Structure 1
Amino acid sequence: MVSAGRFTDEALRFAEGRNIRLQTGQALHDMLRTSAVPAPLVSAHPPAHSSNPPAAPACPKCAKPMVLRTAKRGEQIGRSFWGCTGFPNCRGTQAAD
């Protein structure tokens, strides 16, 4: 848990004996400033196949580009579909194959 200020005595007592680490914002800043930035991971063996995402289609209602979304409710919950970037003004959708 990070705080921009100080922790109350009650918060310090609550954290004791628990898997909670309290840090002030300044302590976190100092920790990040002094840590080394790891080198990016580079694979010696590129993947055998490319998993390029499908190209975004144009909205059938307004022709704006679409974005891949996941249904959060209804019969199609959990399934991917293309939704218009003009949402909520445009509610164009298209099935993601």
Structure 2
Amino acid sequence: MGVALVRELFGAMTAEQADEALFASSGEYTPDARAFANGKPIRLIDGIELAELISAVQATGSVSERAPSASQVNVRASGDEDPACPRCGSAMIRRIARSGSTAGQAFWGCSTFPVCRATRPAN
């Protein structure tokens, strides 16, 4: 799946003021498509992941676990680790700010939110 379709989806998201989107394909995404989606509230589901999701539903008759939202998906290079929360030591999750002066920007938020509200910049 090429970058043009992912860009088109992002344009539709912007026009409709959507918070996030899932884009499922039976094939693979190009490196350009993945690079464009990185840091945006778009979850790309390729053919392998889609087949696994379908198999899981067929085996159990239901979805056993809610898929993480695009704002919670942490896209990173393999081998990188999520940072630890500076306040409580829990893992942090890459999120996208939905409102305020930083709306649309990525940041790290504590995985125990709302118990711990610690954040740190994504850079």
Report the TM-score, using the length of structure 2 for normalisation: 0.37
